[in-house]
Protein backbone atom coordinates (compact mmCIF):
# COMPACT_ATOMS: atom_id res chain seq x y z
CA UNK A 1 0.00 0.00 0.00
CA UNK A 2 1.48 3.41 -0.94
CA UNK A 3 2.09 5.97 1.76
CA UNK A 4 -0.78 8.37 2.20
CA UNK A 5 -0.64 11.78 3.88
CA UNK A 6 -2.97 14.52 4.98
CA UNK A 7 -2.11 17.88 6.47
CA UNK A 8 -3.93 20.36 8.71
CA UNK A 9 -3.11 24.07 8.93
CA UNK A 10 -3.50 24.86 12.62
CA UNK A 11 -6.09 27.40 13.76
CA UNK A 12 -6.38 29.25 17.08
CA UNK A 13 -8.86 26.59 18.25
CA UNK A 14 -6.38 23.81 17.37
CA UNK A 15 -3.53 25.42 19.33
CA UNK A 16 -5.69 26.39 22.31
CA UNK A 17 -5.17 30.12 21.77
CA UNK A 18 -8.91 30.86 21.99
CA UNK A 19 -9.06 29.59 25.57
CA UNK A 20 -11.83 27.16 24.63
CA UNK A 21 -11.83 23.54 25.68
CA UNK A 22 -12.78 21.84 22.45
CA UNK A 23 -12.37 18.09 22.15
CA UNK A 24 -9.53 17.89 19.67
CA UNK A 25 -9.10 18.96 16.08
CA UNK A 26 -12.22 18.86 13.93
CA UNK A 27 -11.93 16.42 11.02
CA UNK A 28 -14.19 17.35 8.09
CA UNK A 29 -16.72 14.83 6.82
CA UNK A 30 -15.00 14.69 3.45
CA UNK A 31 -14.35 11.19 2.17
CA UNK A 32 -10.80 12.00 1.00
CA UNK A 33 -9.93 13.05 4.59
CA UNK A 34 -12.00 10.47 6.51
CA UNK A 35 -10.60 7.62 4.39
CA UNK A 36 -7.17 8.33 5.89
CA UNK A 37 -8.45 7.05 9.25
CA UNK A 38 -9.82 3.60 10.14
CA UNK A 39 -13.57 3.16 9.65
CA UNK A 40 -15.62 3.64 12.81
CA UNK A 41 -18.88 1.81 13.56
CA UNK A 42 -21.54 4.54 13.45
CA UNK A 43 -24.08 2.21 15.09
CA UNK A 44 -22.12 2.57 18.35
CA UNK A 45 -22.29 5.67 20.54
CA UNK A 46 -19.16 7.83 20.03
CA UNK A 47 -17.02 5.10 18.41
CA UNK A 48 -13.28 5.66 18.56
CA UNK A 49 -9.95 4.12 17.84
CA UNK A 50 -6.52 4.90 19.24
CA UNK A 51 -3.68 5.42 16.78
CA UNK A 52 0.04 5.52 17.55
CA UNK A 53 1.95 8.10 15.52
CA UNK A 54 5.75 8.12 15.37
CA UNK A 55 7.52 11.50 15.12
CA UNK A 56 10.96 12.21 13.63
CA UNK A 57 12.65 11.92 17.05
CA UNK A 58 11.39 8.36 17.53
CA UNK A 59 8.70 9.32 20.05
CA UNK A 60 5.30 7.64 19.82
CA UNK A 61 2.18 9.75 20.32
CA UNK A 62 -1.21 8.17 20.90
CA UNK A 63 -4.12 10.11 19.44
CA UNK A 64 -7.79 9.16 19.43
CA UNK A 65 -9.94 9.38 16.31
CA UNK A 66 -13.55 9.75 17.49
CA UNK A 67 -16.92 10.07 15.82
CA UNK A 68 -19.06 12.10 18.21
CA UNK A 69 -22.45 10.93 16.95
CA UNK A 70 -24.70 11.90 19.87
CA UNK A 71 -27.16 13.49 17.44
CA UNK A 72 -28.29 9.96 16.61
CA UNK A 73 -28.50 8.98 20.29
CA UNK A 74 -30.64 11.85 21.64
CA UNK A 75 -27.73 14.29 21.71
CA UNK A 76 -26.56 17.12 19.48
CA UNK A 77 -23.07 16.38 18.16
CA UNK A 78 -22.35 14.91 14.74
CA UNK A 79 -18.64 15.39 14.10
CA UNK A 80 -15.30 13.65 13.81
CA UNK A 81 -12.37 14.74 15.98
CA UNK A 82 -8.72 13.84 16.40
CA UNK A 83 -8.07 14.20 20.13
CA UNK A 84 -5.21 13.91 22.63
CA UNK A 85 -2.98 16.13 20.45
CA UNK A 86 -2.46 19.06 22.85
CA UNK A 87 0.78 17.72 24.33
CA UNK A 88 2.29 17.16 20.87
CA UNK A 89 1.28 20.64 19.70
CA UNK A 90 2.71 22.29 22.83
CA UNK A 91 5.90 20.24 22.96
CA UNK A 92 6.60 21.02 19.29
CA UNK A 93 5.90 24.71 19.96
CA UNK A 94 3.36 24.88 17.15
CA UNK A 95 1.39 28.06 16.56
CA UNK A 96 -1.42 29.26 14.33
CA UNK A 97 -0.41 28.84 10.70
CA UNK A 98 1.90 25.89 11.35
CA UNK A 99 0.85 22.63 9.75
CA UNK A 100 0.71 19.09 11.09
CA UNK A 101 1.31 16.31 8.58
CA UNK A 102 -0.11 12.85 9.24
CA UNK A 103 1.10 9.91 7.14
CA UNK A 104 0.55 6.19 7.09
CA UNK A 105 1.71 3.19 5.18
CA UNK A 106 -0.56 0.34 6.19
CA UNK A 107 -0.68 0.30 10.00
CA UNK A 108 2.40 2.53 10.49
CA UNK A 109 1.39 6.10 11.30
CA UNK A 110 3.74 9.07 11.40
CA UNK A 111 3.38 12.71 12.43
CA UNK A 112 5.49 15.70 11.49
CA UNK A 113 4.97 19.41 11.20
CA UNK A 114 5.92 22.36 9.07
CA UNK A 115 6.43 25.83 10.39
CA UNK A 116 4.26 28.77 9.41
CA UNK A 117 4.09 29.66 5.77
CA UNK A 118 2.75 32.58 3.78
CA UNK A 119 -1.01 32.99 3.74
CA UNK A 120 -2.67 31.62 0.62
CA UNK A 121 -4.17 34.37 -1.53
CA UNK A 122 -6.43 33.96 -4.53
CA UNK A 123 -5.94 35.74 -7.86
CA UNK A 124 -7.58 38.92 -6.50
CA UNK A 125 -5.22 39.01 -3.51
CA UNK A 126 -7.95 37.91 -1.08
CA UNK A 127 -7.13 35.45 1.71
CA UNK A 128 -8.43 31.97 0.85
CA UNK A 129 -10.25 30.36 3.77
CA UNK A 130 -11.17 26.72 4.22
CA UNK A 131 -11.02 23.84 6.64
CA UNK A 132 -7.23 23.88 6.56
CA UNK A 133 -7.06 20.19 5.60
CA UNK A 134 -5.48 18.82 2.43
CA UNK A 135 -4.69 15.39 1.05
CA UNK A 136 -1.58 14.36 -0.84
CA UNK A 137 0.29 11.20 -1.79
CA UNK A 138 4.02 10.65 -1.46
The 10s digit of each residue's pLDDT in 93-136 is 999 999 999 999 988 999 999 988 555 556 666 666 566 677 76
Q: Cα–Cα distance between 62 and 52 in angstroms, integer? A: 4
SS3 of 10, please? coil
CB 84 within 8 A of CB 64: yes
Q: Residue 120's domain spans which residues? A: 4-137
- The enclosing domain of 86 has a CATH number of 2.40.330.10
- How confident is the model over 67-92, as pLDDT tens digits? 999 999 989 999 999 999 999 999 99
How many structural domains is the chain composed of?
1
Q: Output the pTM of the full model.
A: 0.80
Amino acid sequence: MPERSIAKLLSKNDTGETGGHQAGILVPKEENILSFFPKLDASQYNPRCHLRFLDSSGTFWEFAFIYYNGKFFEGTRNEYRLTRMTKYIRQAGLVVGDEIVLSHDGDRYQISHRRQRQAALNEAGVLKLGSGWRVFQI
